[in-house]
Amino acid sequence: ARKAGRGEQRLFDDDMNAAAKDALMIDGALRGALAAGEFYLVYQAITNAHTGKLTKVEALLRWNSSLLGPVTPDRFIPVAEDSGMIVELGTWVLEQACRQAGRWKQSVLDDVTISINVSAWQLADPAFVTLVSQALISNGLSPHQLELELTERVLIDDAIHVQTVLAQLRALGVGISLDDFGTGYSSLSYLTQFHLNTLKIDRAFVMDIEHSERSNSLVHAIIAMGHSLGLQLVAEGVETAGQASILEKMGCHYLQGYHISRPISPELLLQFADGRAGA
């Protein structure tokens, strides 16, 4: 690499400092935030590409910090991962999302599947499988109503241990979804090595599907591969009717994105589902 000039180096240092300071500030504010009730979940609809029926919802974490104001997950999740706080936070998400699904039992959402994002640290926690089964039981949920979204990062961390945990979760009947597919380390061997049942095609590919031949062929190939491996496919980041229609024709099973709905409160999601009940 070429040597940076003195000015560039200073800019670089400033950037580093700014990022480090931001992380430090967030880390400080995170302590106590859970106990103070500063977190809540929003829910994003995932619909059947063919019928439009609302089948799943993804729970997404939100933080309204008393010190910093609203902080986006892209800023605080990495900090919570670094400190290990993500385990406690992730447990809260699991319990909260399952409680919500329990509350939806008497509604049009009685059989909805809740997807939650799970970090590598949580899977490494020996208590994880027990926490999952307790959350299901105490809220009267059937295991197929819970799906755990993992990234490829999780799979490479400690492959043998992860394989065991995923096998236990699949034995419970819980769904396992591979998130952001195509962006990470993307070894195709993951697809058969782990007990997955769903692939989520990353927004980066879906975004260009109408205009880029490359993205279009790539998504096409992912869908074909998913079909032949017996996996369910979810396209994320669907923002236009054109994208939705292309994906449906390609045989993608489920759609998620602003074209269908933004992440919203449980109350609004219920209204949304009511509106689609006939779909």
Whether residue 275 contacts residue 253, with contact meaning beta carbons closer than 8 Å, is answered with no
Closest CA to 177 of 225, 116, 237, 258: 116
Q: How far is CA 255 from CA 47, 179, 251, 262, in A?
A: 5, 14, 11, 12
Candidates 73-81, 134-142, 183-191, 212-220: pick the segment binding ligand C2E (CB under 6 A). 73-81
Residue placing its CB nearer to Ca ion in the complex, 29 or 128: 128
Residue type, 232: Q
60 near ligand C2E, judged by CB under 6 A: yes
Residue found by looking up tokens 């994880």 in the block: 128
Q: Which 186-225 residues touch ligand C2E, going by CB under 6 A?
A: 203
Piece of 32-40, 86-94, 149-157, 187-195 that binds Ca ion (CB under 5 A): 149-157
For residues 21 to 50, the per-residue mask of contacts with ligand C2E, x marking binding by CB under 6 A and - elsewhere, is -----------------------x------
The beta strand positions in 23-154, using DSSP E, are 39-48, 54-65, 69-71, 113-117, 146-150
CB of 278 to ligand C2E, least distance (A): 24
- Amino acid in position 168: Q
Which three-class secondary structure state does DSSP give residue 233? Answer: strand
CB of 67 to ligand C2E, least distance (A): 20
Minimum CB separation from Ca ion for residue 31, in Å?
Answer: 25
Decide which of Ca ion, ligand C2E, none touches 237; Cβ closer than 5 to 8 Å per partner kind: ligand C2E
User: Considering the rule CB under 6 A, would residue 119 count as an interface residue with ligand C2E?
Assistant: yes
